[in-house]
Structure 1
Amino acid sequence: MLVAPPYFEVPPVGYGGIEAVVADLADALVANGHSVTLLGAGASGTAANFVPLWDRPIPEGLGHPLPEVMHAALVREAVLRLIGSAPVDVVHDHTLAGPLNAPAFAAAGVPTIVTVHGPVDGELGAYYRALGAGVNLVAISDRQRHLAPDLPWVGRVYNALRLDSWPFRASKGDYALFLGRFHPDKAPHLALEAAHAANLPLVMAGKCSEPAERDYFQREIAPRMRDRDTMFGVADATAKRELLAGARCLLFSSQWEEPFGMVMIEAMACGTPVVALRAGAVPEVVVDGVTGFVCDDPNQLAAAVGRVGQIDPQACRDHVRARFDIDRLADGYAAVYRRCMTDLPSLAAV
């Protein structure tokens, strides 16, 4: 049983990296012969049996505590009801508050697996520690797991995508691309500076709706923009693919411990190299000199942008096929599910 957040469609129409991973995982598990029930909001576009807990997605609730807690309560009710009517092997939760339900599910004989899509330091790290050993955490990168080795990890499974749903284009346009939230951690102002220093316009696509995002945009982005730059806004699934396939490169200027970075594999799937700062999982995702360039300092980004013509677009796509294809995602989680089902008696006793 998969639990998705209630904020966006599964799969998402535009913004929604977690929802994209959940959708692909659901479809891959079904294709491999597993019976999958997906709990979420609105309507689902996956092959799984869908149980809507909300009439529609609630993007306006993102970042607020009550919708998160309310969703967890609805999940608890739905899962316990389903456990009473049909066999349930595992609950695989992709939300923040959902793991609080793990003791109730363990008492019913069902383990809870939680994919940690966010950071593991500070208050969030303390939260995952407080959950105790009855929750099985899955990391999405080795770096994420390394930063909190004391957490109850049961495995690492890289995020992935369905390669055939991403267009490949060897011939690129005359622009660099930033695709992500307008937040200081993502640092699109560094992408602007690098693109300008490399004499390329920058197309910026991403979410800029929360007060902190709008304040950052007005303070750091608007003063740096030039006439050739483009503020695209949130790109839907079709527009995102067009932008990524046509870009000379993706500028991934993130300055925080990014647990994974879906947009990097999306770019490489399209044959587009990634120029990124060495932070978080970047060195695990990008092969320096083969699928892009990994820089140690923001001042190195512009020179790297100038060298992206050395990168073979086919090598980028082949790298995604070999390491981040959807079959690896399904196999990785299936192994975690089997492991946790075997260990349930000790977990239920915690």
Structure 2
Amino acid sequence: MVPHVVITWVTTARGGAENSVLELADNLARLGPNVDVVWWRHGGPAASPGMAARVHDVSDWDSYRQTLTGVCRAAGDRPVVVISSHRTVAADALLAPHARVIPVVRHVVNANQVLRVIDPHDGALVERTIGDLPWDVLAGVPVWVGISHASSASLRQHVPRARYVSTIHNGVAIPGTVPARARPVTGRLLVASVARTVPWKRMDHLVRAVADPRLSTAVRLDVFGEAGSHQGELEDLVRELAAPVYFMGYTEDLPQRLAGYDLLATAAVQEGFGRAVIDAAGAAVPALVPNAGASPELVIDGLTGLVYDPDDPWDLVAALTDALLDREALARMGRAARALAEAWYTPGRCAAQYLTLVMGQRRISRELEAAR
């Protein structure tokens, strides 16, 4: 019997993770299962309409609790699988005790990293390290998912009580054709970055790099994304260094906007996936990424983009200089990046892997029980 699938999500901002969750729900529903999405707006956006999955948009703990228990009851005798996240897994495990809960961790976690999670007893958004999650509640969760090999490896290292960890890379919907390149005529190397301006994104590293005297008159960096807690400090740094950096804000048409750039650059070393790399690939734009977190999984150095040492600021400057001096190589890498994205990072492939995991829940549980 095909399980009824419920996907839960707590959104606190507009970003790539929100898009990935909705694309997963839509594509999973197209493969056959009944899919409900319980979408808790906790300061973030409403869910997009017009999906194959049923979306329940809620705005508080009582509504979340009632909606989740309601859709689980509505499944009747059909088994229920809840695809959760680190934020909601404990709450979901308590609210749906007869369902199989699969938490998806969208970070590269470490022992001291503070995560924002829903308290399963009162619905408050609280801060916890991975080790401080309520593992008495989570002991029965048989399978965890990391959205990259780096994410899964961090779970195996820091969450030994996560008994089985599977890796399922995100899927990203890319345009059917390469968007038209509409770029300003500046003669500069146009570099885009996509990130909320929060400290862990390390945008200051990119600002300092493009402010280097060898690059500052030949490069321009445009930053797309919602303003975060680090925005004011970054703006002060841009003014202090006279850096060629512009903050563009959040955009709904990111792939089309990225088509006007020569290169995407990132700096975060704890990126769980890095959706912007694939968004850029859809526009045939290569990426420059640090050799840390999940980023080097998405970029084949020298073929679909460039990888630099995040601990060496001069290596970032050198990589930008190489990009500046060889625009033809960037164009070749952009075409290869799009081909790779079309071959592997598709929403259909991602949904098919989740469906395989959903259908195998009973077998996995039996294997884990036998191994005890």
Q: How does 1:109-124 map to 2 (within 5 A)?
A: 110-123=99-112, 124=129
Distance 1:257 1:153 in 2: 22
Distance 1:127 1:347 in 2: 24
Match of 2:292 among 279, 292, 300: 279
Measured after TM superposition, the shift of residue 222 of structure 1 is 3.6
SS, match of residue 163 in structure 1:
coil
Match of 2:81 among 87, 90, 94: 90
Distance 2:266 2:193 in 1: 7
In structure 2, do the counterparts of structure 1 residues 300 and 287 end up closer, same or farther at CA, with 3 Å as the change threshold?
same
Q: How does 1:1-350 map to 2 (within 5 A)?
A: 1-7=6-12, 15-40=14-39, 41=41, 42-45=46-49, 46-54=51-59, 71=61, 74-86=63-75, 87-94=78-85, 96-105=87-96, 107-108=97-98, 110-123=99-112, 124-127=129-132, 130=135, 131-135=137-141, 136-149=143-156, 150=160, 151-164=162-175, 167-168=178-179, 174=188, 175-196=190-211, 197-198=214-215, 199-210=218-229, 213-226=230-243, 228-233=244-249, 235-238=250-253, 240-254=254-268, 256-296=269-309, 297-308=312-323, 309=327, 310-311=329-330, 312=332, 313-344=334-365
Distance 2:338 2:74 in 1: 44
2:139 counterpart letter in structure 1? A
Does the 8 Å CA contact 2:224/2:251 hold for their aligned counterparts? no
Does the 8 Å CA contact 2:8/2:88 hold for their aligned counterparts? no
Does the 8 Å CA contact 2:273/2:295 hold for their aligned counterparts? yes
Name the stretch that deviates more: 139-148 or 79-88: 79-88
1:39 counterpart letter in structure 2? V
Distance 1:165 1:192 in 2: 33
Distance 1:252 1:176 in 2: 10
Measured after TM superposition, the shift of residue 128 of structure 1 is 5.0
SS, match of residue 164 in structure 1:
coil
List runs of 5+ in structure 2 lacking aligned partners. Answer: 1-5, 113-128
The answer to which structure has the higher strand fraction is: 2
In structure 2, do the counterparts of structure 1 residues 206 and 304 end up closer, same or farther at CA, with 3 Å as the change threshold?
same
The answer to which structure has the higher helix fraction is: 1
Measured after TM superposition, the shift of residue 285 of structure 1 is 0.9
Does the 8 Å CA contact 2:291/2:308 hold for their aligned counterparts? yes
Measured after TM superposition, the shift of residue 129 of structure 1 is 7.6
Does the 8 Å CA contact 2:108/2:293 hold for their aligned counterparts? no
Name the stretch that deviates more: 115-124 or 152-161: 115-124
Larger Rg: 2
2:87 counterpart letter in structure 1? L
TM-score of the pair, normalised by structure 2? 0.77
Distance 2:224 2:201 in 1: 12
Does the 8 Å CA contact 2:155/2:165 hold for their aligned counterparts? no
Name the stretch that deviates more: 74-83 or 175-184: 74-83
Does the 8 Å CA contact 2:106/2:151 hold for their aligned counterparts? no
Does the 8 Å CA contact 1:268/1:316 hold for their aligned counterparts? yes
Does the 8 Å CA contact 2:255/2:282 hold for their aligned counterparts? no
Measured after TM superposition, the shift of residue 336 of structure 1 is 1.5
Distance 1:241 1:193 in 2: 26
1:270 counterpart letter in structure 2? A
Does the 8 Å CA contact 2:223/2:248 hold for their aligned counterparts? yes
1:208-247 CA distance string (max 9 Å, x none): 243xx23432453442344x532212x2212x22331111
1:122-162 CA distance string (max 9 Å, x none): 25321458253322310011112222312334311001211
SS, match of residue 273 in structure 2:
coil
1:134 counterpart letter in structure 2? G
Distance 1:273 1:279 in 2: 17
SS, match of residue 34 in structure 2:
coil
Q: Give the corresponding residue for 2:121.
A: none
1:54-89 CA distance string (max 9 Å, x none): 2xxxxxxxxxxxxxxx54x64333222222222352
1:270-308 CA distance string (max 9 Å, x none): 111111111101111111001111011321123222333
In structure 2, do the counterparts of structure 1 residues 172 and 318 end up closer, same or farther at CA, with 3 Å as the change threshold?
farther
Measured after TM superposition, the shift of residue 347 of structure 1 is 8.2
1:10-59 CA distance string (max 9 Å, x none): xxxxx3222100111111112222221111144532221122222xxxxx
In structure 2, do the counterparts of structure 1 residues 93 and 132 end up closer, same or farther at CA, with 3 Å as the change threshold?
closer
Report the number of matched residues.
320
TM-score of the pair, normalised by structure 1? 0.81
Computed over aligned residues only, the root mean square deviation of the Cα atoms, in angstroms, reads 2.8
2:192 counterpart letter in structure 1? L
Measured after TM superposition, the shift of residue 329 of structure 1 is 0.7
Name the stretch that deviates more: 297-306 or 22-31: 297-306
**What fraction of aligned residue pairs are identical, expressed as a percent?**
22
Measured after TM superposition, the shift of residue 7 of structure 1 is 3.3
